[in-house]
Structure 1
Amino acid sequence: MMDDTAPIRLSALAHGGGCGCKLDPAVLSDILGAPSAFPLPRDLIVDASTRDDAAVWRINDETALVATTDFFTPIVDDPETFGKIAATNALSDVYAMGATPIFCLALVGMPVGKLPPEMIRAILAGGRSVAEAAGAPIAGGHSIDAAEPIYGLVALGTVHPDRLLTNSGARPGDVLILGKPIGIGIFSAALKQDRLSPDGYAQMVASTTRLNTPGAGLAALGGVHAATDVTGFGLLGHLGEMCDGAGVRAVIERRAVPVFAEARSLAAAGVRTGASGRNWAAVGAAVTGRPADWSGLDETLWCDPQTSGGLLVSCAPDSAEAVLAHFHKAGHSDAAVIGRIEAGEGIALV
């Protein structure tokens, strides 16, 4: 029987939280196996083969449909905030493709015997408020009785085919811009351990509920060649996918990467998620350049799983100022140039 007097911690009902509960990258690759031999329709212009953020179907010469889905277990205990974070995160993949969201479907799995209806309603209300703020109302969905709380969205958007952004268009000579600070996974681990300060929690919520709206207008700026969002595989994991897709090498300037100050301090004190270690195991071999002062702290930070993380953009150097101004105007004040793209392969950190 449910104890109506004890406070319910959503995060205690799940084995992981946010994008940190993604499958291990190596396990995911093993499960997916070889690509299907089924001949793909001509109008399916982006599929899973490039590990991009969404699938894209060309409707006509003027419009392409972008489709994605994302869901996870709670990263915070407040139900409405959980809903907002999950919805913001799901919509991020639409923005990462340069598209504008049009509508969503809700994906709901709740342990009905453990959560009162009002908490479930609050989760759904949080998600709905974000979707409506993005101009993409929730038009339906599906729900099940699940062992853990799970919430997310199917998000659909549209984009002109000529303004579609993918994760595989980076070019040698480009600069890399990151739209949000990293450290969300560390914050979530600290929250579970009751080690996160009120200011740190406020920063975490503000970042994870900030829509990546700059993505929808990036291609119109000119000189923007590729984009993705940094989520469960961490900065290095998603950058590695960008490099693999384009056949290029990335150089990251560690001191230029925006990192939440408290997250850095917590990581130095040993706070980390299990996912950061799995992410490093998957991408570490691609990190071919490391500075002399490289340490385990680097592995924790650069592989920290981000929930509703920032956009990672590859653009021509003479477009960087306009791209940064575009981010800053949308409230992404921490957006910064963090490195560059070169000919070659792998990732170097300096």
Structure 2
Amino acid sequence: MHSPTRTPLRLTRFAHGGGCACKIPPGELEDVLAGLTGPVLAVGDTSLLVGLATGDDAAVVALPGESGAAPRAVVSTADFFTPVVDDPYDWGRIAAANALSDVYAMGGWPIVAVNLLAWPRDVLPFELAREVLRGGLEIAAEAGCHVGGGHSVDDPEPKYGMAVTGLADPDRLLRNDTGRPGVPLSLTKPLGLGVLNNRHKATGERFEQAVATMTALNRDASAAALAAGAVCATDVTGFGLLGHLHKLARASGVTAVLDTAAVPYLDGAREAVRDGYVSGGTRRNLDWVTPFTDFGAADDDTRLLLADAQTSGGLLVAGEVPGAPVVGELVPEGTHSVVLR
């Protein structure tokens, strides 16, 4: 279902970047965060299970246990971005699925979210903002996640997303620092979202396969990964497959070997790269991972697709996930964090 009326306004024209491609470049972000840690609440406190250290998908805090009760942990995250498509309802659905993905990437399940909305109130009608919020509410309902309000600001550039709280079993988390040599790598969604979105922004062409991929929850993939015994995963978003794979390999102290022929792509993705619809975020991703990557014989288009800034991409799981292609494996740490073959 789309918006009840098509608007002549193209939302992507009001954004300097689209979706997760508008993230601060990973190298610059790491420089900003260097040396920053959270407060120590008490001597010996170990309740923060996942924090800033490895740049994982969400923060995880262990809850105090009651006698006989199953252990629980709180998963907390926030994600928002500029319009990635022109349809406001679809943008809302995509942004919500993307925000919820961080909880699934940790092996948790979302329980409540609040909206984060920035809106140019003197430029864009509020009926479009309503459609954005309606799309987010629908995806949250699909996920079984409450939406309890949120926060809005008047902003020259539209932005939307969610802050999400979830729960997880602290003994069954999916983390990016628990990869071990000898484990295969599975990818649960195809690549190419960034270049198709960039083509959409430039031409107005609508790519149904991209919208369907971005609005698909990572809930089932997360559950399948946990059921298969996986303990290591991350989602593939703004830093591209190579960027998130580099972070996983670095955090786990391993090298990731990627089989480029096994990586799935959306229809039209290679043509979009060929025709030059590559975002600045994707090129910055490639620049960042180049010192840590042995590209082998991979051509320029393949390198760009592997670094393509995804929005609401799939899970990259250290382990076999039923129905997901195996795209590589983890091996003992070598001279590069990622090797293409």
| TM-score, scaled relative to structure 2 | 0.92
Residues 173 and 342 in structure 1, CA contact (< 8 A), matched pair in contact too: yes
Call closer, same or farther: CA 1:177–1:242 in 2, change over 3 Å.
Answer: same
Shift of 1:271: 2.0
- Deviation track 1:72-105 (CA, whole Å, cap 9, x = no partner) reads 0000011111000000000000000000110101
2:326 equivalent among 316, 330, 337: 337
- Structure 1 equivalent of residue 339 of structure 2: 348
- Deviation track 1:34-78 (CA, whole Å, cap 9, x = no partner) reads 133743642111101110000001013411000000000000011
Comparing 304-313 with 25-34, which one deviates more in the overlay?
A: 25-34
Shift of 1:268: 2.0
- Structure 2 equivalent of residue 241 of structure 1: 247
Comparing 186-195 with 111-120, which one deviates more in the overlay?
A: 186-195
- Structure 2 equivalent of residue 48 of structure 1: 52
Residues 209 and 267 in structure 2, CA contact (< 8 A), matched pair in contact too: no
Shift of 1:274: 0.7
Kindly report structure 1 stretches of 4+ aligned residues shifted beyond 4 Å.
none
Shift of 1:298: 2.1
Residues 276 and 299 in structure 1, CA contact (< 8 A), matched pair in contact too: no
Q: Which amino acid aligns with 2:303?
A: E
Shift of 1:291: 2.6
1:79 equivalent among 88, 97, 108: 88
2:274 equivalent among 268, 271, 278: 268
Quote the Cα distance in structure 2 between the aligned partners of 1:6 and 1:310.
Answer: 30
- Structure 2 equivalent of residue 331 of structure 1: none
Is 2:170 aligned against 1:161? yes
Quote the Cα distance in structure 2 between the aligned partners of 1:192 and 1:111.
Answer: 19
- Deviation track 1:250-271 (CA, whole Å, cap 9, x = no partner) reads 1111110001131112212222
Comparing 24-33 with 42-51, which one deviates more in the overlay?
A: 24-33
Is 2:64 aligned against 1:60? yes
Shift of 1:108: 0.6
- Structure 2 equivalent of residue 314 of structure 1: 318
2:107 equivalent among 88, 98, 102: 98
Residues 96 and 215 in structure 1, CA contact (< 8 A), matched pair in contact too: no
More helix by share: 1
Quote the Cα distance in structure 1 between the aligned partners of 2:89 and 2:272.
Answer: 26
Quote the Cα distance in structure 2 between the aligned partners of 1:260 and 1:174.
Answer: 26
Q: Which amino acid aligns with 1:166?
A: R
Shift of 1:164: 1.1
Q: Which amino acid aligns with 1:154?
A: A
- Deviation track 1:90-140 (CA, whole Å, cap 9, x = no partner) reads 000000000011010110100001111111110000001101110112112
Q: Secondary structure at the match of 1:102?
A: strand
- Deviation track 1:152-190 (CA, whole Å, cap 9, x = no partner) reads 000111111111111111110000000000001000111
Q: Secondary structure at the match of 1:161?
A: coil
Q: Which amino acid aligns with 2:340?
A: L
1:217 equivalent among 219, 223, 235: 223
Residues 231 and 306 in structure 1, CA contact (< 8 A), matched pair in contact too: yes
Residues 174 and 341 in structure 1, CA contact (< 8 A), matched pair in contact too: yes
Quote the Cα distance in structure 1 between the aligned partners of 2:115 and 2:177.
Answer: 29
Shift of 1:220: 4.0
Unaligned runs of 5+ in 1: 329-334
Quote the Cα distance in structure 2 between the aligned partners of 1:304 and 1:220.
Answer: 27
2:210 equivalent among 204, 219, 239: 204
Q: Aligned runs of 1:283-298 on 2, under 5 Å?
A: 283-288=289-294, 290-292=295-297, 294-298=298-302
Q: Secondary structure at the match of 2:83?
A: coil
| TM-score, scaled relative to structure 1 | 0.90
Quote the Cα distance in structure 2 between the aligned partners of 1:109 and 1:192.
Answer: 20
Quote the Cα distance in structure 2 between the aligned partners of 1:179 and 1:12.
Answer: 31
Q: Secondary structure at the match of 2:179?
A: coil
1:183 equivalent among 164, 167, 192: 192
- Deviation track 1:320-344 (CA, whole Å, cap 9, x = no partner) reads 2xx21xxx4xxxxxx2110000001
Q: Aligned runs of 1:142-157 on 2, under 5 Å?
A: 142-157=151-166
Is 2:33 aligned against 1:32? yes
Quote the Cα distance in structure 2 between the aligned partners of 1:25 and 1:220.
Answer: 28
Comparing 141-150 with 22-31, which one deviates more in the overlay?
A: 22-31
Q: Which amino acid aligns with 1:13?
A: F
Comparing 134-143 with 88-97, which one deviates more in the overlay?
A: 134-143
Q: Secondary structure at the match of 1:104?
A: strand
